[in-house]
Structure 1
Amino acid sequence: MELHDIWFVLIAFLWTGYFFLEGFDFGVGVLTKVLARDRRERRVLINTIGPVWDGNEVWLLTAAGATFAAFPEWYATLFSGFYLPLLAILLALIVRGVAFEYRHKRQEERWQSRWEHAIFWTSVVPAFLWGVVFGNIVHGVAIDADGEYTGGLLGLVNGYALLGGAVTLTLFTFHGAVFVALKTVGDIRARARRTATAVGVPAAGLAVLWLGWTQLERGDGLSLVALVVAAGALLAAIGMNGRSREGWAFALSGITVAAAVAMLFLTLFPDVMPSTLDEEWSLTVANASSTPYTLKIMTWCAGVAAPLVMLYQGWTYWVFRKRIGTQHLADAH
């Protein structure tokens, strides 16, 4: 296996970690307006991800940075051709971070309500747009002989990509609802389980439709295995959630996200961005990668730094592992 193949796998792993962690993060943000009945319950939901949401975003920074260094041609075409949706995601993430930090700075109801609306919408927008972006990457876009995207904004609006957006939005919301059930006590926990079931059923239908479409277009034996694992894990997660086995339900919903992302990358390889104009113009792991020397240095650096970061983040989740409820909140806020 060549170094550029290894780095394709590593980047796939980074995106899988990001969607696993930020997925339930986005889902909790969506649920602040769907599940919570009042401001006190919204505080509980926000507190479930309060210690970890910023650490989850490190995976995005690492994935983007690794793509820039390992596959500069892929990075250049992706971030120039998909400029507007990626800019919308970036702005949403910036506002979302500000909302988490500023919401509790003042006591006025109007002030807090505005930031809570911001948390909701800046969770919905990236959760949907990430599906659109990856849908277009896998489905293929108009890339010319110079490796430049020529389709414009409307070229990114198609049925496959929009279905991908619906899948990521509903799947992340289900993932978030299971996480809330795992992290809370009392009435919120019970309602989170009911919400997870209500969202999980349509999420399963949409996911099977989208991944099945992907399999028919670009799939092989390995991607079919990933599809079966994703579908089976999601159905099992819904079942475990119904039996109040939140730990198993969350683990299985995480497996669903990981298997779905793995399937997308399996169907993509050896391309990194297929061209719909001419297959010869597609960007591949070979023609879009950096030099072997650059990849070798990156491999040594990643081998040292990545385990340390993962250990630290795992320790963070362990420290903040206990359940919370409205009774754990101080009256003054």
Structure 2
Amino acid sequence: MELTTFWFLLITVLWAGYFLLEGFDFGVGILLPFVGRDDRSRRLAINTIGPVWDGNEVWLIVAGGATFAAFPEWYATLFSGFFLPLLLILVSLIVRGVAFEYRGKRDGVTWRKRWDISIFVCSLVPAVLWGVAFGNILRGVPLDARHEYVGGFVNLLNPYALLGGLTTLALFTLHGAVFLALKTDGPMREQSGQIAETMAMVAVPVAAGFLLWTGIAHGDGWGIAVSVLAALTLVAAIPLTRARREGWAFLATAATLVLAVAALFVTLFPDVMPSTLDPANSLTVHNASSTPYTLRVMTWVAVFFTPVVLLYQGWTYWVFRKRLKLSDIPA
């Protein structure tokens, strides 16, 4: 296997891990106003992701760093062309992290309400914009002969990309509801299960529409096959949610997100950013990559450290595997 292909696959894994883990983080934040009838309930919801949310964001940092090191021209074009949406995502992630830490610093009702609103908004915005961003990457953007983005912000707000944003929003919200049902007990578990049922009925047609559009406009054999698997796991989440099999339902929504990311990258390969002006202007794994020596050094680093990180994060989730209930939250 060529090193360029290896790093394309590794970046795919990193984005799949990020969507899988940060996806339920965003979902819990989006659902915070709906499952938290009072401050203790909201604290219960936040505590389900309290030990892991910051670790989940490391996947984004590593994915961005890997893209910068392995495919610098892809990184440069992506961050210059998508500057505004990526800036909004970055600001949202910063404010969201501050909100988690600061909402408990004072006892005032207004103080906590403002931070709760910040958590909701700053979970909602990235959940939509990530879908819009990846929808545009798959659809293609106007790149000139120097591989520079020559469109504007309005070009990114096309129907296909906006449907991608609605898809990630629906999937993350469903994923978060299932996670809350899995991690809590008592009234919140039941309420989260009911929300998951409703969100599953919303997510299925939205995601099916996006996957169908992708298959017709951009799909190849392997991309369509992986998309079908993603659709099947999403449909499987409906009866599992209704039966209150939270563990299996979470595995189903997790598989859906991982397979959806895999389908996107499989469909994209060997391009990393297609050009809508001229296919010759597209960025590929070959013309956007670093030198072979850089890729070799990075590969040895990745081979050593990636299993260590995975083992550590798996251990973290094992330690905090216990369900939480309202009685665990002090008044």
Q: In the aligned structure 1, how far is the partner of 2:97 from the partner of 2:220?
A: 40
Q: In the aligned structure 2, how far is the partner of 1:211 from the partner of 1:151?
A: 25
Q: Give SS of 1:147's match.
A: coil
In structure 1, give the amino acid aligned to 2:30.
V
Extract unaligned runs of 5+ from structure 1: none
Q: In the aligned structure 1, how far is the partner of 2:239 from the partner of 2:38?
A: 29
Q: In the aligned structure 2, how far is the partner of 1:71 from the partner of 1:126?
A: 23
Q: Give SS of 2:103's match.
A: helix
Q: CA deviation at 1:35?
A: 2.2
Is 1:295 matched up with 2:316? no
In structure 2, give the amino acid aligned to 1:23.
G
* Equivalent in the alignment of 1:41: 41
Q: CA deviation at 1:84?
A: 0.2
Q: In the aligned structure 2, how far is the partner of 1:2 from the partner of 1:292?
A: 10
Q: In the aligned structure 2, how far is the partner of 1:239 from the partner of 1:62?
A: 35
Q: CA deviation at 1:224?
A: 1.5
Q: Give SS of 1:171's match.
A: helix
* Equivalent in the alignment of 2:57: 57
TM-score norm. by structure 1 comes to: 0.99
Q: CA deviation at 1:40?
A: 1.3
Q: In the aligned structure 2, how far is the partner of 1:45 from the partner of 1:121?
A: 16
After superposition, give the CA deviation of every residue in 1:150-201 in whole Å (9 maximum; x if it has no partner).
0011111100000000000010000000000000001110110110011111
In structure 1, give the amino acid aligned to 2:273.
M
* Equivalent in the alignment of 1:67: 67
Q: In the aligned structure 2, how far is the partner of 1:159 from the partner of 1:100?
A: 34
* Equivalent in the alignment of 1:190: 190
CA RMSD of aligned residues (A): 0.6
* Equivalent in the alignment of 2:325: 325
Q: CA deviation at 1:110?
A: 0.8
Q: Give SS of 1:62's match.
A: helix
Is 1:214 matched up with 2:210? no
* Equivalent in the alignment of 1:22: 22
Q: CA deviation at 1:207?
A: 0.4
Q: Give SS of 1:308's match.
A: helix
- Report 1:1-333 matches (<5 A): 1-331=1-331
After superposition, give the CA deviation of every residue in 1:109-148 in whole Å (9 maximum; x if it has no partner).
1111110000000000000000000000000000000000
Q: Give SS of 2:104's match.
A: helix
Instruction: Count how many residue pairs are aligned between Structure 1 and Structure 2.
Output: 331
In structure 1, give the amino acid aligned to 2:297.
I
| Identity percentage of aligned residues | 61
Tell me which stretches of 4 or more aligned residues in structure 1 moved more than 6 Å: none
Q: In the aligned structure 2, how far is the partner of 1:263 from the partner of 1:69?
A: 24
Q: Give SS of 1:272's match.
A: strand
After superposition, give the CA deviation of every residue in 1:210-262 in whole Å (9 maximum; x if it has no partner).
01111111211211221111111011112101001000000010000011110
Q: Give SS of 2:272's match.
A: strand
Q: In the aligned structure 2, how far is the partner of 1:183 from the partner of 1:164?
A: 28
Q: CA deviation at 1:36?
A: 2.0
After superposition, give the CA deviation of every residue in 1:24-81 in whole Å (9 maximum; x if it has no partner).
0000000101222222111110000000000000000000000000000000000000
Q: In the aligned structure 2, how far is the partner of 1:42 from the partner of 1:100?
A: 11
Q: CA deviation at 1:83?
A: 0.1
Q: In the aligned structure 2, how far is the partner of 1:109 from the partner of 1:260?
A: 40
After superposition, give the CA deviation of every residue in 1:262-297 in whole Å (9 maximum; x if it has no partner).
000011000000000000000000000001110000
Q: Give SS of 1:124's match.
A: helix
Extract unaligned runs of 5+ from structure 2: none
